[in-house]
A and B are shown apart, each in its own frame.
Chain A
Amino acid sequence: MCNYNERDRASMGQRVALELDLVKGFRFFDPHIHMVSRTTDDYQAMADAGVVAVIEPAFWVGQPRTGIDTFRDYYSSLIGWERFRASQFGIKHFCTIGLNSREANNEALAEEVMELLPFFIYKEGVVGVGEIGFDDQTAAEEKYYRLQLELAKEAGLPVQVHTPHRDKTKGTSRSMDIALEHGLDPGMVIIDHNTEETVKEVLDKGFWAAFTIYPFTKMGNERMVEIVKQYGPERILVNSAADWGISDPLAVPKTAALMVKSGLPKATIEQVCYQNAVAAFSQSGQLDEAMLNEKTSIDQGKKFAGNSVLRGGQQPRRDADSIIIS
């Protein structure tokens, strides 16, 4: 995912100072972020920037898993520890559960994962099946994509579709065609990692179009601003997909700030950076506006979670600008 090649500064466009004051008072929902790979500093920065909720799709962990137990423990961590970790920062954590496309290619293991999925998709806070779809666009990927679409249909859950990096346009069309073939309502399917090349078809076919603001390899946020200007805010979602690569957990608030600077109306910005994510994933019955409005109780127990994020008695916030650690 990450490229370490030096990029010509000039090709990266004009540098704009980070001014999150522009989005003070906004509420953000990042509907695609892999928090298991992120630090507590990220959670803190996200909370400070106005992120109130996240969705963590089950994905590839950077190298292939070799056994079913690691899948189970990973899914368990998404509905357990990671949800708790987020709550300590006042962030609501939801997830989508699925077999990612890369690992669908290990068919023996994929079969076992398919048997595991029904034990997880009905859990509290699971707002969809995801992220599933194509990577190399192999026959095995297609097989497990189809099986999981059926699973989502049966469970009445939205689907979060990962679109391939290579041969993206064709892969995106194919992902949508297959979903329609299985009788899924396009309104229940979120097509992720869109570009200027894919957005029109996705919106025309009635699917949700999500955009990943991810440096170097996916969308940049200046391009995102142009897309919203061109297509309007309907059915468009912005996410960070921040993970173990060089990525940015503040991609959603930063994009919103750029949108403010670019003169987009507040209502439009809120729609693509918050409201649409709520609308798309509330169809799971596992999340609603009221849930997001209630103040996450960072109660006594959670606040002093001891051998976890916040050690007993310690001030919850570390002073990043001091060399003193106490």
Chain B
Amino acid sequence: MNDVNAGFSAERMVFQEWVANQIAPHVAEGEWQALLDQVDRLRADSQPHRLARVFTAIPRNLKSVDKDLRITLAEADKRTGQLPLVVTDWPLVRLIRVWVLMNIPALEETAYVSLIERLFKYGEMEELAALYAALPVYDFPSAWRLRCTEGIRSNMAPVRQAIMVNNHYPSQFLDEGAWNQLVLKAFFTDEDIPHIIGLKQRNNARLAEALVDYAYELHAAKRTINPMLWILVAPFVDERAYRLMEQIILKSQQLHERKAIAYAFQMSSYRPATDFMTGNSELTDLLDTADTPWVGWPEQTN
């Protein structure tokens, strides 16, 4: 048999082993050993049916794993090579599945992509969440753009969240249209907006325009507007945005909504907005960002 580690960079090996070490303490020794054996075989021979069987059967085979156990790995994003992985409050089984996917040996692009696409095609809800959470660790990163866009359309919240929140892939690889759909959909579905990676870096005028339209729609329907919306609109405040924002900051009973608009006015280069803040000095208190979702936004780099 060839060296089963062939095709993995040294950094990747170190990272894989590190992830394995985080998983091992939560799995009974015998079950863990059996999984390691399976993964070794997978590294040597990644036949589609072998991968599918290992990947699908993880919860079936690891009976010792506490199904409710959620795991957060502070160091996971320090990975070198490809994109960092952010493991925040994942079911352990998801992490194990992503780790298994990291062990697929080097293949040529078509074979590699079709191997993983097959798992997507037959995936149940948790499998799909793991497959999308693994976008940053797949080989041939640019090959997953359409897949990522497709996943954002999912109606299954855990699947959608695995892409939208704490995932480095979308902001690095989606074009502007697809990125804007991700952000808009995240607002529509009340996702954890501040944890969308790349929110600041990928912010753009077209997105801001669509967000303002959405804010008008919500306002007309008397529904709540997520204050993070105004943070994204801030650099692009124009006459139309300003009209609604002014109304809300004067009338809203919700502190965060008013704070977000004050902050956006302050950050804006639109003259009436900055004038509004200087003319209403009693609103200065609203600029305190402590306990708001956008605390630290000016320093944020992605």
Contacts of A311 in B (CB 8 A): 188
Given A306-B157, A307-B155, A312-B188 in contact, is the A122-B124 Cβ separation under 8 Å?
A: no
Main secondary structure of the interface of B (DSSP, over half): helix
A125, B67: Cα distance in complex, Å: 13
Residue B223 lies at the interface, judged by CB distance under 8 Å to chain A: yes
Residue B31 lies at the interface, judged by CB distance under 8 Å to chain A: no
User: B60: which of A119, A120, A122 is its contact (CB, 8 Å)?
Assistant: A122
Query: What sequence of 0s and 1s flags, for each residue 48-64 of chain B, a beta carbon within 8 Å of any chain A beta carbon?
Result: 00001100110110010
Contacts of B190 in A (CB 8 A): 300, 304, 306, 312-313
What is the interface residue range for chain A against chain B? 20 to 34
The A/B interface has a contact count, at CB < 8 Å, of 79
B125 and A308 contact, CB distance less than 8 A: no
Residue B251 lies at the interface, judged by CB distance under 8 Å to chain A: no
A38, B223: Cα distance in complex, Å: 29
User: A124: which of B68, B124, B161, B191 is its contact (CB, 8 Å)?
Assistant: B124
B156 and A306 contact, CB distance less than 8 A: no
A123 and B56 contact, CB distance less than 8 A: yes
Residue B189 lies at the interface, judged by CB distance under 8 Å to chain A: yes
Residue A81 lies at the interface, judged by CB distance under 8 Å to chain B: yes
Contacts of A291 in B (CB 8 A): 67
A301 and B155 contact, CB distance less than 8 A: no
B157 and A120 contact, CB distance less than 8 A: no
Given A123-B124, A305-B157, A313-B224 in contact, is the A294-B68 Cβ separation under 8 Å?
A: yes
A83, B128: Cα distance in complex, Å: 13
Q: What are 29 sample pairs from A and B whose C-beta atoms fall under 8 A apart?
A: A76-B123, A76-B124, A79-B125, A80-B123, A84-B155, A84-B157, A84-B158, A120-B122, A123-B56, A123-B127, A124-B127, A125-B124, A285-B63, A286-B60, A294-B68, A301-B158, A301-B161, A301-B191, A302-B158, A304-B189, A304-B190, A305-B189, A306-B157, A306-B185, A306-B190, A307-B189, A308-B156, A312-B188, A313-B224
The 4 closest A-B pairs by CB, nearest first: A306-B189, A79-B124, A304-B190, A312-B190
Tell me the A residues contacting B by CB distance below 8 Å.
72, 76, 79-81, 83-84, 119-120, 122-125, 285-286, 291, 294, 300-302, 304-308, 311-314
